Chains A and B, each alone.
Chain A
Amino acid sequence: GESVGLHLPTLSVQEGDNSIINCAYSNSASDYFIWYKQESGKGPQFIIDIRSNMDKRQGQRVTVLLNKTVKHLSLQIAATQPGDSAVYFCAETSRPGKLIFGQGTTLQVKP
């Protein structure tokens, strides 16, 4: 069946370092991927997305990489700040309206 998973439940990084959050997916038909950030007590917030015809997409301080060969997605956050502390979810879809979410990785930023 379909599943989306994150490799590590918790990632701890030093403030100023770069963070890399990984995600594996199993549905080879998935063609659209999204990263969400969820702060404590809040709903998921859209960060960045990527379509399957791309390998890389950059936003402000964030980069998403897609490796379709091994069905792997990663989110890179440059110069991690305390405000980046949150749970990060990847989500994938192969049809409209049907998002499948991973379990989430908690990012902890140490001052």
Chain B
Amino acid sequence: DVKVTQSSRYLVKRTGEKVFLECVQDMDHENMFWYRQDPGLGLRLIYFSYDVKMKEKGDIPEGYSVSREKKERFSLILESASTNQTSMYLCASSSPQPSGGRETQYFGPGTRLLVL
């Protein structure tokens, strides 16, 4: 089974703090993703990465950065946390399919972040 783990289930931070959210997958997947999930807005893609040291902006990258130094690890960084970044953060991973077929994303348990 694919296993995606996230470093924390719950986090409480103060406005202005730098926040690191870590994600690790054990299936040697090339692709990794960070989403945030908010009531009424569904899942929104923040950043994704197709390979080590590669990153692409998703739909809502403002206020976030990412790091992928190793294939199995994808970090989301909130440079200066703000209250509107209070959310559920979900990491996912997938493996590209041959001939350009679509791949399934597998999710971690999520990190619920509260910024005070």
Contacts and interface: CB of A to CB of B under 8 A. Distances in A.
A31 B99 CA distance: 14
B104 interface: yes
A57 B17 CA distance: 47
A96 interface: yes
Interface stretch (A20-28, A41-49, A76-84): A41-49
A58 B9 CA distance: 33
A31 B90 contact: no
A43 B5 CA distance: 10
A32 B45 CA distance: 18
Interface of B: 4, 31, 33, 40, 42-43, 45, 48, 50, 90, 94, 96-97, 100-110
Interface of A: 31-32, 34, 36, 41-46, 49, 51, 89, 93, 96-99, 101-104
